[in-house]
Structure 1
Amino acid sequence: MSAQQPPSAPDVAKPRSLAYRIWDSDVFFSFRRSPVTIVAAIVTAVLVLAALLAPWIAPYNPFDPSSLNLMDGFTPPMSEAMMGNYFILGSDHQGRDVLSTILYGSRVSIFVGLSATLFAMALGISLGLVAGYVGGTADSVIMRIADVQLSFPAILIALLIFGVARGIIPPSRQESMAVYVLIVAIGLSNWAQFARTVRGATMVERQKDYVSAARIMGVHPLFILIRHVLPNVMAPVLVIATIGLALAIIEEATLSFLGVGVPPTQPSLGTLIRIGQQFLFSGEWWILFFPAVTLVLLALAVNLLGDWLRDALNPRLR
């Protein structure tokens, strides 16, 4: 009689990897189900990567005076210039390749928009947490300032801040500091939306049991805000930041178009559009058209990603 085999241990499910759990989450499930969002993500990734890799993929360096030739100016798209250079998207009045200027200009626009959004988000989250958790006089002062700022268009606030900063900075340093002044101006004109959203979410979170338990245990209020409250108010902040990024890029382009943005030595998409607008009615349409299309595609794609993120993080729509 054969010996009985011991019962086999039940199979234990192997833990799934972090990458698989993220891919199988509700957020990425909604991403895979939305063709528009997938296209928007691809367009955003292509434009951002092209801007980051501009020094390596741009056909020419448009900001190297030794490589420019005025005889190559106003070359139409897909044409060979008089000096033998071939321009896919044409050249501008200085003989610069339009494709190369778009790649380099996108770097400035994306850098300024992203930096300004991060600055506005950091300032708005900090003030919103203080207003919502502390309350009282601090809440009243912060929210009244936010209400006053929201009553004016953001572009006017940015123009005011930019003008004040240019008056304070010495003329010899204005060109080198122009990008950073632009970042601060755009950031200070957009912090109020973050502050109001975080304040409302913080006022809800501070009434919950886990915050009361932390208070009873003697946890420092700053630790409570950073460790417990902040992670629970980040979902709406990410949505505002995504949409705010597109608005910041458009705001930077508007300021540069008005001539108060980045200096001509490091032009952005807005500066390229301002330059192209001067030659639109003389027949050189490509100098304006291609930078404008790039700006529209970038802002539209980021906006669509923000709309998807808003729906994906809304528990009522799941």
Structure 2
Amino acid sequence: MPRPGHSDAPSDQATAPQPSGTTQARPQDTLRRAWDSDLAYSFRTSPVALVSGVVALLIILAAVLAPWLAPQNPYSTRDLILMDGFTAPMQPSLLGNVYLLGTDDQGRDVLSAILYGARISLFVGFSAVLFAMVLGITLGLVAGYRGGWVDGLLMRIADVQLTFPSILLALLIFGIARGMIPPAYRETMAIWVLIVAIGLSDWVQYARVVRGATMVEKNKEYVQAARVIGVHPARILTRHILPNVMGPVLVIGTIGLALAIIAEATLSFLGVGVPPTTPSLGTLIRNGQSYLFSGEWWILAFPAAALLALALSVNLLGDWLRDALNPRLR
């Protein structure tokens, strides 16, 4: 006999369909897990990482949005006012115009030139790091997985390259590649040649780290099992080994971005980098150093400060990421 108040009919909770919000909660759960992860907690609790991340993000956003944020296009002859040349920061020019960071010898707004120059520096830096990362990871995976004479040949090439300073090697590669390009295309291809030169001078560190991690991973049981069932080596490298060696590569890539930006600025300062028609931060510094001792200090000081802030913030982010991904420091 059923108990009083008890019904044999299924309850409403058992028969009610699942609410549609359960499928929408998955992205929220993913974001919550990401927010509660060790990496996010380490970032939130590190004042250096927070300040560096904000500074780097502001510079990157300002560079990307330069066409909308810059007061003028500094490389358009229609916007240049020669009468406003050598105007000090926040001082009225001969025509009564006021510029926040002053102007250079040709009347270009220094703030606008920095925003547009940062776009070139960031583009070269990101592209060079991406090129060096792809090349270094590929060669490191092949050397670590194959071993034998392939490993020996690639590592001996890497050892020889390490004997040369990276900036001198980039200068040599840039000169050789530029000499092989017809004169009519040298200006248009200068940025791409610079990217290849910096990338070829920095691939060794990625290859050596990935090679060492691959030699450890290939002897583990999951790789041995994949070999036994006949999985192709390329699939083993890309689907199994590569995800497990990306942690150190991301750290090197973050620090390498700051080094690539400095390398681009160094080459442009020496006059062998970005052409004057599309100057970067290094070109602005080279132009400004000619007027440093004549009283127009702002032409050099502000581009140098922007380069310093960008490189330092990215470098500090790389140091934080290295410590955050180190299991011994957790």
How far apart in 2 are the matches of 1:211 and 1:234?
Answer: 17
* Residue 255 (structure 1) aligned to one of 257, 261, 267: 267
Aligned to 1:232: 244
Do structure 1's residue 206 and structure 2's residue 218 form an aligned pair?
Answer: yes
Aligned to 1:128: 140
- Which 4+ runs in 1 deviate beyond 4 A? 4-9, 13-16
How far apart in 1 are the matches of 2:226 and 2:172?
Answer: 43
Q: For 1:139-154, list aligned pairs within 5 A.
A: 139-154=151-166
Structure number with greater Rg is: 2
Aligned to 2:113: 101
Letter in 2 for 1:58: A
Instruction: Kindly state the Cα deviation for residue 94 of structure 1 after the two structures are TM-superposed.
Output: 0.5
Instruction: Kindly state the Cα deviation for residue 232 of structure 1 after the two structures are TM-superposed.
Output: 0.2
Residue identity over aligned pairs, in percent, reads 68
Per-residue deviation, residues 82-103 of structure 1 (Å, max 9, x unmatched): 1232210000001000000000
Letter in 2 for 1:120: A
Letter in 2 for 1:130: V
How far apart in 2 are the matches of 1:67 and 1:100?
Answer: 11
Letter in 1 for 2:127: S
Letter in 2 for 1:104: Y
* Residue 87 (structure 2) aligned to one of 57, 75, 80: 75
2:102 counterpart SS class? coil
Aligned to 2:19: none
Aligned to 2:190: 178
Instruction: Kindly state the Cα deviation for residue 316 of structure 1 after the two structures are TM-superposed.
Output: 1.0
Question: What TM-score does the superposition give when structure 2 sets the normalisation length?
Answer: 0.93
Aligned to 1:2: 4
How far apart in 2 are the matches of 1:65 and 1:137?
Answer: 58
Q: For 1:1-318, list aligned pairs within 5 A.
A: 2-4=4-6, 17-318=29-330
RMSD: 1.5
Per-residue deviation, residues 283-311 of structure 1 (Å, max 9, x unmatched): 10000000000000000000010011101
Instruction: Kindly state the Cα deviation for residue 67 of structure 1 after the two structures are TM-superposed.
Output: 1.6
2:223 counterpart SS class? helix
Question: What TM-score does the superposition give when structure 1 sets the normalisation length?
Answer: 0.96
How far apart in 1 are the matches of 2:146 and 2:202?
Answer: 23
Per-residue deviation, residues 72-123 of structure 1 (Å, max 9, x unmatched): 1100001221123221000000100000000000000000000000000000
How far apart in 2 are the matches of 1:24 and 1:117?
Answer: 30
Instruction: Kindly state the Cα deviation for residue 4 of structure 1 after the two structures are TM-superposed.
Output: 4.7
How far apart in 2 are the matches of 1:147 and 1:83?
Answer: 60
Letter in 2 for 1:37: A
Instruction: Kindly state the Cα deviation for residue 282 of structure 1 after the two structures are TM-superposed.
Output: 0.3
How far apart in 2 are the matches of 1:4 and 1:200?
Answer: 68
Per-residue deviation, residues 13-71 of structure 1 (Å, max 9, x unmatched): 98662111111100001001101100000000000000000000100110011221221
How far apart in 2 are the matches of 1:112 and 1:4?
Answer: 74
Per-residue deviation, residues 255-291 of structure 1 (Å, max 9, x unmatched): 0000000000000000000000000000100000000
2:78 counterpart SS class? helix
